[in-house]
Structure 1
């Protein structure tokens, strides 16, 4: 009489790494037996290769998405930084523009010799601070007239000049970065012609 076994023995492989492929196995739900490792050269070789190809395809797709998100975030940061710089420069230009009458009074007092004592030191510090933030005074006698940055208040004709030239700066102009806050008010000598 042959020995009979009531049921065949079940072997469960609980290792997380498949010893044949070296890949991490997916966790099997509780209560389900993990499938036995396929034998080399068996019918499951094609399925394993298809799974590997699908996993590599999914990994490449996820990598592409991650790179796209990183590029999108880098562009967002650049745009935010640029917008922040524009807002900062606009605010500083507004403050500088509101201080132009004060700077005009300081300039006139200095021209007349009335700027002395402790107030001269305060005026110098104010001008130095505004210059450090980017405010620039412009307008010199003898420079060529440029209607984009000069406002002509008087015109005359002269044989001395070959192009329209600022002969007298009546009030200096101010610019902040590339923005003209106030054009220089000048007297212009046009060439005789």
Structure 2
């Protein structure tokens, strides 16, 4: 009975070993299949990433090109604006006194008319005192009109004449002392005489009055 059971037990053990080996082989096949699937998935993911990066690079390149074009156009516009501003500044500086000169033309015309009232030949040959007096009176009247118009033109452009009076305090900002006068009845350090009137442009002295000053 014991000998009969021995071989029977061995016959049952063999198929079990083969099944384990078959199971192991199946597991290996599944493992290889899974690895192959993982490789395929990794390649697909890599391709998608490359395509995505390529698209982003193309988009960024287009943006850079667009920004570069805009920058070049802006630089060109700025250069044109700078050149136009420079020309306008030169023109404005060149013709800044155009209005002032235009107003002085009338003064020049009146001065010419005043001069025309005097005939140089008549002055040489005229002996009648009354005629000479009339000529001088006309000339004087014309000169006064010219001076009045000139002062009006100056005032229109902010130029004001100032003429210090005798005894006014000497102001070094407005006056230029040319000489000293011995102290008399006036206080020392005051204006004694005016040799040339002064002018201001919008409260800025453009020519001080030339004066003599009483010395202390």
Normalising by structure 1, what TM-score?
A: 0.43
Between structure 1 and structure 2, the one with the greater Rg is 2
When you count strand as a share of all residues, which structure comes out higher? Answer: 1
Bigger fraction of residues in helix = 2
